[in-house]
Amino acid sequence: MSQQSASSSLSSPLPLRCGNIEETPTTPPLSDYHAIDQQLLQKITYDALVWSSLHGLVVGDKSIERSGSVPGVGMVHAPFTLLPASFPESHWRQACELAPIFNELVDRVSLDAKFLQDSLSRTKKVDEFTSRLLDIHSKMLEINKKEEIRLGLHRSDYMLDEQTKSLLQIELNTISSSFAGFSGLVAELHKNVILRNYLHVGILFFRNILSHYGKLLGLDSKRIPANSACSQFVEALGKAWCEYNDPRAVVMFVVQAEERNMYDQHLLSFALRERYHVMSIRKTLAEIDQEGELLPDGTLSVDGQAIAVVYFRAGYTPLDYPSESEWRARLLMEKSSAIKCPSISYHLVGTKKIQQELAKPNVLERYLENKEDVAKLRECFAGLWSLDESDITKKAIERPELFVMKPQREGGGNNIYGDAVRQTLLKLQKAKSEEDAAYILMQRIFPTMFETFFMRSGCCHKNQAISELGIFGTYLRNKDKVIINEQSGYLMRTKISSSDEGGVAAGFAALDSVYMT
Amino acid sequence: MSQQSASSSLSSPLPLRCGNIEETPTTPPLSDYHAIDQQLLQKITYDALVWSSLHGLVVGDKSIERSGSVPGVGMVHAPFTLLPASFPESHWRQACELAPIFNELVDRVSLDAKFLQDSLSRTKKVDEFTSRLLDIHSKMLEINKKEEIRLGLHRSDYMLDEQTKSLLQIELNTISSSFAGFSGLVAELHKNVILRNYLHVGILFFRNILSHYGKLLGLDSKRIPANSACSQFVEALGKAWCEYNDPRAVVMFVVQAEERNMYDQHLLSFALRERYHVMSIRKTLAEIDQEGELLPDGTLSVDGQAIAVVYFRAGYTPLDYPSESEWRARLLMEKSSAIKCPSISYHLVGTKKIQQELAKPNVLERYLENKEDVAKLRECFAGLWSLDESDITKKAIERPELFVMKPQREGGGNNIYGDAVRQTLLKLQKAKSEEDAAYILMQRIFPTMFETFFMRSGCCHKNQAISELGIFGTYLRNKDKVIINEQSGYLMRTKISSSDEGGVAAGFAALDSVYMT
pLDDT digits (tens, 9 = 90+) for A140-185: 999 999 999 999 999 999 999 998 899 999 999 999 999 999 999 9
Amino acid at site A8: S
Q: Which helix (H) or strand (E) holds A358?
A: helix A352-358
For A245-316, where are the alpha helices, taking DSSP H only? 262-276, 285-291
A13 assigned to some structural domain: no
Q: Would you say residue B190 lies in a domain? A: yes
Q: How many whole angstroms separate alpha carbon A58 and alpha carbon B53?
A: 8
Higher-pLDDT residue of B27 and A359 is A359
Give, for A332, the enclosing helix (H) or strand (E): helix A324-335
Contact by Cβ (8 Å): A75, A59: yes
Query: Contacts of residue A304 in chain B, CB cutoff 8 Å?
Result: 207, 209
Please tell me the total count of domains within chain A: 2
| Assigned domain for B407 exists | no
C-alpha B414/C-alpha B407 separation (Å) is 7
The reply to whether residue A61 touches residue B74, judged by beta carbons under 8 angstroms, is yes
CB-CB: which of A66, A72, A250 is closest to B52? A72
* The residue count for chain B: 517
Smallest CA–CA distance, residue B350 to chain A, in Å, is: 31
Contact across the interface for B49 and A66, Cβ inside 8 Å: no
Residue ending a domain, choose from A419, A444, A469:
A444
Closest-CA residue to B455 (of B510, B501, B417): B510
**Do A171 and A261 reside in the same domain of the chain?**
yes
Residue B191, annotated ligand binder?
no
Mutate which of A203, A209, A230 to test chain B, going by most B C-beta atoms within 10 A?
A203
Last residue of a domain, one of A444, A477, A492: A444
Write the residue in A46, A56, A206 that is nearest to B53 by C-beta: A56
Count, residues in chain A: 517
Cα–Cα distance for residue pair A83/A492, rounded to 1 Å? 12
Measured distance CA(A394)–CA(A391) in Å, rounded: 5
Is position A422 within any domain? yes
Q: Span A73-98, mean pLDDT?
A: 96
Residue B178 marked ligand-binding: yes
Q: Which alpha helices (DSSP H) does B368-505 contain, by range? A: 371-379, 390-398, 419-431
B196 is in an annotated binding site: no
Inform me whether the pLDDT recorded for A433 exceeds 90: no
Cis, peptide link before residue B318, omega less than 30° from 0? no
Instruction: Tell me: pLDDT of A197 over 90.
Output: no
B495 has binding-site annotation: yes
For B457, nearest residue in chain A (alpha carbons): A73
Which of B196, B203, B307, B456 should we substitute to test contact with A (largest number of A Cβ atoms within 10 Å)? B203
CA distance, residue B333 to nearest chain A CA (Å): 21
Q: Are A475 and A484 in contact (CB under 8 A)?
A: yes
Paired sense of beta strands B481-498 and B459-478, if any? antiparallel
**How many CB atoms sit inside 10 A of residue B150's CB?**
25
Q: A250 and A213 in contact (C-beta within 8 Å)?
A: no
How confident is residue A497, by pLDDT bands cut at 50, 70 and 90?
A: confident
Distance, CA of A16 to chain centre: 19
Q: Distance between CA B267 and CA A54 in Å, rounded?
A: 8
Please report whether residue B400 resides in a domain: no
Which positions in chain B touch A458 (Cβ < 8 Å)? 66, 70-73
CA distance B287 to B426: 44
Partner residue facing A73 (CB), from B46, B207, B458: B458
User: In sequence order, which ranges of A179-224 are alpha helices (DSSP H)?
Assistant: 180-206
Phi, psi angles (nearest 5°) of residue B66: 70, -15
All residues of chain B having their beta carbon less than 8 Å from the beta carbon of residue A203 are: 248, 250, 279, 305
In this structure, is residue B465 part of a structural domain?
Answer: yes
Cα separation, B258 vs B266, whole angstroms: 14
Q: Which of A428, A444, A460 is the last residue of a domain?
A: A444
Adjacent-strand bridge partners of A306: A301
The verdict on A421 and A370 lying in the same domain is no
Sequence letter at residue B120: L
A291 and A426 co-located in one domain: no
Secondary element (H or E) of residue A477: strand A459-478
Spatial contact of B88 and B474, defined as CB atoms under 8 Å apart: no
> Over B328-349, what HEC string results?
HHHHHHHHCCCEEECCHHHHHH
CB-closest option in A56, A250, A457 to B54: A56
Residue type, B356: Q
Relative orientation angle of helices A38-54 and B262-276, to the nearest 10 degrees: 110
Contact at CB, A71 and B248, closer than 8 angstroms = no
Give CA–CA dist A421/A394, Å, rounded. Answer: 11
Contact A320/A286 with Cβ under 8 angstroms?
Answer: no
Q: What is the pLDDT along chain B (517 residues), one digit of tens a residue?
A: 333 333 333 233 333 333 333 333 334 444 445 556 777 788 889 999 999 999 999 999 999 999 999 999 999 999 999 999 999 999 999 999 999 999 999 999 999 999 999 999 999 998 999 999 999 999 999 999 999 999 999 999 999 999 889 999 999 999 999 999 999 999 999 998 887 766 665 555 544 433 333 345 567 888 999 999 999 999 999 999 999 999 989 999 999 999 999 999 999 999 999 899 899 999 999 999 999 999 999 999 999 999 999 999 999 999 999 999 999 999 999 999 999 999 999 999 999 999 999 999 999 999 999 999 999 999 999 989 988 888 989 999 999 998 999 887 665 568 898 889 999 999 988 888 888 888 889 999 999 999 899 999 999 999 999 999 999 999 999 999 999 999 999 999 999 886 544 444 445 699 999 999 9
Residue B370, C-beta contacts closer than 8 angstroms, at least 6 positions apart: none
Tell me if A277 and B304 make a contact (CB, 8 A cut-off).
no
Residues 6+ away with beta carbon under 8 Å from B374: B364, B365, B368
Q: Do B458 and A66 touch (CB under 8 A)?
A: yes
Residues of B with CB under 8 A from a CB of A: 46, 49-56, 58, 61, 64, 66, 70-77, 196, 199-200, 203, 206-207, 209, 247-248, 250, 263, 266-267, 269-270, 273, 277, 279, 304-305, 455, 457-458
- Using an 8 Å CB-CB cutoff, list chain A residues near B64: 64
Say which of B58, B273, B457 has its CB closest to residue A75. B58
Cβ <8 Å between B73 and A458? yes
β-strand B166-173 against A339-341: which pairing, if any? Answer: unpaired
- A154 DSSP β-pair partners: A473
Could you tell me if A432 and A504 lie in one domain? no
Contacts B230 to A, Cβ<8 Å: none
Distance CA B494, CA B490 (A): 13
Look at residue B246 and give its three-state secondary structure. Answer: coil
Are A467 and A402 in the same domain? no
Minimal C-alpha gap between B51 and chain A (Å):
8
Residue A29 lies in a domain: no
Model confidence over B205-231: pLDDT tens digits?
A: 544 433 333 345 567 888 999 999 999
- CB count in 10 Å sphere of residue A98: 25
- Is the same domain home to A55 and A143? yes
Q: Which of A49, A54, A251 to mutate to test the interface with B (most CBs of B within 10 A)?
A: A54
CB B464 within 8 A of CB B451: yes
Q: Are A424 and A436 in contact (CB under 8 A)?
A: no
User: Nearest-CA neighbor of A223 among A373, A20, A414?
Assistant: A20
Q: Is residue B35 in a domain?
A: yes
Chain A residues whose CB is inside 8 A of the B73 CB are 61, 76-77, 457-458
| Residues in A touching B59 (Cβ below 8 Å) | none
Considering only CA atoms, which of A96, A90, A99 is closest in space to residue A9?
Answer: A90
Q: How many CB atoms lie within 10 A of CB B369?
A: 8
From CA B444, how far away is CA B403, in angstroms rounded?
Answer: 4
Contacts 24+ apart (CB under 8 A), B503-510: B503/B446, B503/B447, B503/B449, B503/B466, B504/B417, B504/B418, B505/B466, B505/B468, B507/B413, B508/B79, B508/B454, B508/B456, B509/B79, B509/B468, B510/B79, B510/B80, B510/B81, B510/B454, B510/B455, B510/B456
Q: How many CB pairs under 8 A join A and B?
A: 118
Q: Which domain holds residue B277?
A: 8-382+445-516
Residues of A noted as catalytic: 155, 171, 173, 178, 352, 406, 410-411, 493
**Lowest-pLDDT choice from A264-268, A461-465, B7-11, B277-281:** B7-11
In this prediction, residue A499 has a pLDDT band, given cuts at 50, 70 and 90, of: low
Within 8 A by CB and 6+ apart from A285, the residues are A254, A314, A315, A320, A321, A325, A326, A329, A330
Contact B184, B227 (CB under 8 A): yes
Q: 10 Å Cβ neighbour count for B8?
A: 8
Nearest-by-Cβ selection for B75 from A75, A209, A247: A75
Same structural domain for residues A243 and A329?
yes
Q: A395 or B213: whose pLDDT is higher?
A: A395
Chain A positions in Cβ-Cβ contact with residue B77 (cut-off 8 Å): 72-73
The answer to whether the Cβ–Cβ distance between A53 and B263 falls below 8 Å is yes
Phi, psi of A485 (to 5 degrees): -150, 95
The reply to whether residue A71 touches residue B199, judged by beta carbons under 8 angstroms, is no
Active site residues of B: 155, 171, 173, 178, 352, 406, 410-411, 493
The answer to whether the Cβ–Cβ distance between A58 and B53 falls below 8 Å is yes
CA–CA min distance A75, chain B (Å): 5
By Cβ distance, the residue of A71, A247, A269 closest to B53 is: A71
Count CB-CB contacts under 10 A for residue B241: 24
Give the pLDDT band of residue A34 (cuts 50, 70, 90): low
Q: What is the spatial distance between Cα A42 and Cα A58, in angstroms, rounded to a whole number?
A: 21
CATH number of the domain to which A421 belongs: 3.30.1490.50
B411 by DSSP, 3-state: which? coil
3-state secondary structure B460-498: EEEEEEEEEEEEEEEEEEECCEEEEEEEEEEEEEEEEEE
Find out whether A505 and A497 touch, Cβ atoms under 8 Å: yes
Taking CA atoms, what residue in B is nearest to A305?
B207
Taking an 8 Å cut-off on Cβ atoms, the answer to whether A46 and B71 are in contact is: yes
First to last CA, chain A: 26
List residues forming the annotated binding site of A for substrate: 155, 175-178, 259-261, 265, 313-316, 493, 504-505
